Amino acid sequence: MYDKEKDLIDAFLRGQMDRRALLRGLGALGVTASTAGVLLNSAATRAMAADFDWQRHAGTGVKLLLNKHPYTDAMVANLDSFKELTGMEVEYDVFPEDVYFDKVTAALSSRSSEYDAFMTGAYMTWTYGPAGWITDLNEWIGDPDKTNPAYAWDDMLEGVKASCAWNGRPGGELGSPDAKQWCIPWGYEQNNLSYNAEMLERIGAEPPRTMAELVEVAAKATKDLDGVYGIGVRGSRSWATIHPGFLSGYANFGEKDLNVGGDGRLSAAMATDGSKAFHRQWVEMIRNSGAADWSSHTWYQVGTDLGAGKSAMIYDADILGYFMNGGGNAMAGKLAYAPFAPNPGTEAPTPNIWIWSLSMSEFSRNKDAAWYFLQWASGPEHGLFGARQMDFVNPVRKSVWADEMFRERIASNYPGYVDMHDVSAPGASIKFTAQPLFFDLTTEWASSLQKMVAGEVGVDEGLDQLAASVDRQLKDAGLG
């Protein structure tokens, strides 16, 4: 690198110059914006190496188990920086999401030491943690000898960070002082409203702000737009149907999945009047304005239908709306975003979140080296690289969200996205009760929802049956 460019970037990294001045300066030296990004990343790698012995595990290596995802793509694109920084080798296996978690379960339950670290969701750690398959990362985060001083753990968004920590007690509060850090947040999704701005304009509707408005606008879109249905939400017989828009809306009305008694016993909380009212509204919305094949819709169908112009809105992961607004999607450039608080009595959205995180296998033979990878992959430099140059959204670090280059890029291409995030982030966290029967109970909840939408059972009766079944299962497992 030429000295002048190097001096400019070093000054920027020391905080002596803002981003505009840096870009102006580099521009004057004939450096394009994309080259500037590469130079900046390279300089950041050098800066990281300055205060910490990144070479301690040089010559060793780690093996990762990864899900096919844009976060993985961003990491792979920047992997040479890690190798250069640490002198370590990185091997990885990437699997599509349909089979990914089966691979993780198979690897961990067989106590295989093949993989040192892997991608996971926070919900999965409620199984992996108590089973003794993953490591409590507090030991590494709090060790100044093993963790770069610039790692800035407190830079992580609070709700996201807390959602990855659980004390292992069924019903225990996430992020409590005695919680174990089962995973490190990597990238996350809030559940909000993504909509086709052109379609809503065509039918003369504003983006809905409450549940009642959502039902109304979705019905109007279904009626007025030929071949389009109003609202895309998930419906497959899976726990994944419950956690996005459904639980976000449900939680916004103050409803819960489970009650935690004073004695720590758990009981079903989905047969309340408030819950029944919400379910009735949700079921009606799907019947009137959902996809005809709703009961088979996973995130994939929800996203692609929005991208293909088959649906007018989705109440699902914000990054689904993000990705559908680019690439070769028919509706690219026509989508917009809105924070969504379905309960008119609340001020702000309270989205449930999905967090793609990184965990360390308890069976890894090289945990210190694995931690080096984890802290690099979840560190501020890689977060910034991914956010600025790749599709590593949503970042989990406050500093990345504050980055002007990232905000400008998003704001110019994804109208309303940054505002939606900023408004929703304070209330964004996992709204489920952490407990080991999570997948059983939420899958059954999804199954009940399918029966209600199909008219096999009434909403009130279905919820009473669900609550009875949940209570029975909790009791059988010694939790209720």
The type of residue at 175 is G
| CA distance linking residue 45 with residue 50, whole number of Å | 9
Q: 204 burial class (0-12, 13-18, 19+ CB within 10 angstroms)?
A: exposed
Judged by CB, which is closer to other proteins: 143, or 293? 293
| CA distance linking residue 44 with residue 25, whole number of Å | 18
Judged by CB, which is closer to other proteins: 178, or 476? 476
**Residue 110 C-beta: closest distance to other proteins, Å:** 11
Judged by CB, which is closer to other proteins: 164, or 466? 466
Could you tell me if 311 and 229 are in contact, meaning their C-beta atoms sit under 8 angstroms apart?
Answer: yes
Residues near other proteins, by CB under 8 A:
101-102, 105, 109, 126-127, 130-132, 227, 236-239, 291-296, 305, 310, 436-437, 439-440, 443, 447-448, 450-451, 453-454, 456, 476-478
What Å distances lie between residue 317 and 119, 243, 278, 323, 456, CA to CA?
18, 10, 20, 10, 29
Could you tell me if 249 and 213 are in contact, meaning their C-beta atoms sit under 8 angstroms apart?
Answer: no
**Residue 345 C-beta: closest distance to other proteins, Å:** 32
**Residue 105 C-beta: closest distance to other proteins, Å:** 6
**Residue 466 C-beta: closest distance to other proteins, Å:** 11
- Tokens for 192, please give them: 């909000």
Judged by CB, which is closer to other proteins: 20, or 111? 111
How does strand 61-67 pair with strand 89-95? Answer: parallel
| CA distance linking residue 65 with residue 116, whole number of Å | 8
Judged by CB, which is closer to other proteins: 108, or 369? 108
Judged by CB, which is closer to other proteins: 62, or 266? 266
**Residue 453 C-beta: closest distance to other proteins, Å:** 8
Q: Identify which of 129, 66, 155 has the alpha carbon closest to the alpha carbon of residue 375.
A: 155
Q: Is 92 helix (H, G, I), strand (E, B) or coil?
A: strand
**Residue 477 C-beta: closest distance to other proteins, Å:** 7
**Residue 22 C-beta: closest distance to other proteins, Å:** 48
Judged by CB, which is closer to other proteins: 27, or 132? 132
Place of tokens 């969701």: 121
Distance of CA 88 to the CA centre of its chain: 28
**Residue 338 C-beta: closest distance to other proteins, Å:** 25
Judged by CB, which is closer to other proteins: 80, or 102? 102
Judged by CB, which is closer to other proteins: 71, or 118? 118
Judged by CB, which is closer to other proteins: 138, or 304? 304
Q: 141 burial class (0-12, 13-18, 19+ CB within 10 angstroms)?
A: middle
Judged by CB, which is closer to other proteins: 186, or 239? 239
**Residue 422 C-beta: closest distance to other proteins, Å:** 35
3-state SS record for 251-308: HHCCCCCEEECCCCCEEECCCCHHHHHHHHHHHHHHHHHCCCCHHHCCHHHHHHHHHC
Q: What is the DSSP track for 385-451?
A: HHHHHS---SB-BHHHHT-HHHHHHHHHHSTTHHHHHHHHGGG-S--SPP-TTHHHHHHHHHHHHHH
**Residue 260 C-beta: closest distance to other proteins, Å:** 17
- Tokens for 223, please give them: 């009626």
Q: Where in 2-110 does DSSP place strands (E)?
A: 61-67, 89-95
Judged by CB, which is closer to other proteins: 125, or 429? 125
**Residue 264 C-beta: closest distance to other proteins, Å:** 15
**Residue 152 C-beta: closest distance to other proteins, Å:** 32
Could you tell me if 238 and 298 are in contact, meaning their C-beta atoms sit under 8 angstroms apart?
Answer: yes
- Tokens for 20, please give them: 């505009």
